[in-house]
Amino acid sequence: MRPTRTVGTALAALGLAAGAVLAPAPAIAAKDGGGAYDVPATQALTWPLPAGTTVVIDGPANVWQMRDFAESVDAALPGVTVVSGSAVEHPGAFVVTIEKEHRRSGTFAGFTKWRTMGPGESYPTGATITLNTYFRESPRSTRRQVAAHEFMHVLGFRHHAGDGITGAQPPLTLEPAPSPDEWTALHAYYG
Ligand SMILES: [Zn+2]
């Protein structure tokens, strides 16, 4: 079922007002705009994409392994398809534009913002993920975690208290993957 316009509007407002930020230091992450780390992981999929959405990742070649993470999600979930390319190549898709910007430390490592909706649109047509190249010298596991974390926000996850990529204590592994509880929530919505 597609979200109603009201839901879509609220979602866009949430994305614009709060954004969804990951900073690697726990003290900063606790004040992050992706929601408090307080709900159970299985209840953290709060603004999912319409079922059947094709997500286009449009950005530089090196986006901290976000495409690898997205491919693993695509392979596991019938309800979402992820491709790499441009909006022109994939009309009607949900376009995630990846930007790299150099910001000072202490601001954010990654940031996700939903595009505003145009007239007659019931859902935002895309989002922008900003990766802070201040952290380009951070360990690969950290950068990959940031990229995966932001992509989980695109899929609809807010922060939560459990284990996992948008959880309070994300595992810094070289191959980030959703936790069992995060998979449970993903499968419940995306099949
Ligand atoms: Zn976040």
Domains and CATH numbers, the chain: 5-190 (3.40.390.10)
Provide the residues around ligand 1 (an ion) whose CB is within 5 A. Answer: 20, 22, 34
Q: Residue 171: its pLDDT value, please?
A: 81
- Whole-number Å distance between alpha carbons of 174 and 78: 25
Q: Residue 123: its pLDDT value, please?
A: 81
Q: Is 80 helix (H, G, I), strand (E, B) or coil?
A: strand
- CA–centroid distance, 83 to ligand 1, in Å, is 22
- CA–centroid distance, 46 to ligand 1, in Å, is 13
- CA–centroid distance, 120 to ligand 1, in Å, is 29
Q: Residue 115: its pLDDT value, please?
A: 87
Here the tokens at position 33 are 């705009």
- CA–centroid distance, 13 to ligand 1, in Å, is 16
Contact 94, 54 (CB under 8 A): yes
Contact 19, 149 (CB under 8 A): no
Contact 2, 101 (CB under 8 A): no
- CA–centroid distance, 168 to ligand 1, in Å, is 10
- CA–centroid distance, 27 to ligand 1, in Å, is 13
Here the tokens at position 184 are 């449970």
- CA–centroid distance, 121 to ligand 1, in Å, is 26
Per-residue pLDDT of the chain (191 residues), as tens digits, is 333 333 333 333 333 333 455 444 333 343 345 788 889 999 999 989 999 999 999 999 999 999 999 999 999 999 999 999 999 999 989 999 999 999 887 678 888 888 888 888 888 889 999 999 998 889 999 999 999 999 999 999 999 999 999 998 888 889 999 999 999 999 999 99
- CA–centroid distance, 169 to ligand 1, in Å, is 12
Describe the strand order of the beta sheet including 110-114 as a list of residue ranges: 20-22, 110-114, 126-132, 94-101, 53-58, 80-84
- CA–centroid distance, 12 to ligand 1, in Å, is 16
- CA–centroid distance, 109 to ligand 1, in Å, is 10
- CA–centroid distance, 111 to ligand 1, in Å, is 7
- CA–centroid distance, 152 to ligand 1, in Å, is 8
- CA–centroid distance, 20 to ligand 1, in Å, is 5
The torsion region of residue 64 among left (phi > 0), alpha (psi -120 to 50) and beta comes to: left
Here the tokens at position 2 are 């597609």
Q: Residue 21: its pLDDT value, please?
A: 52
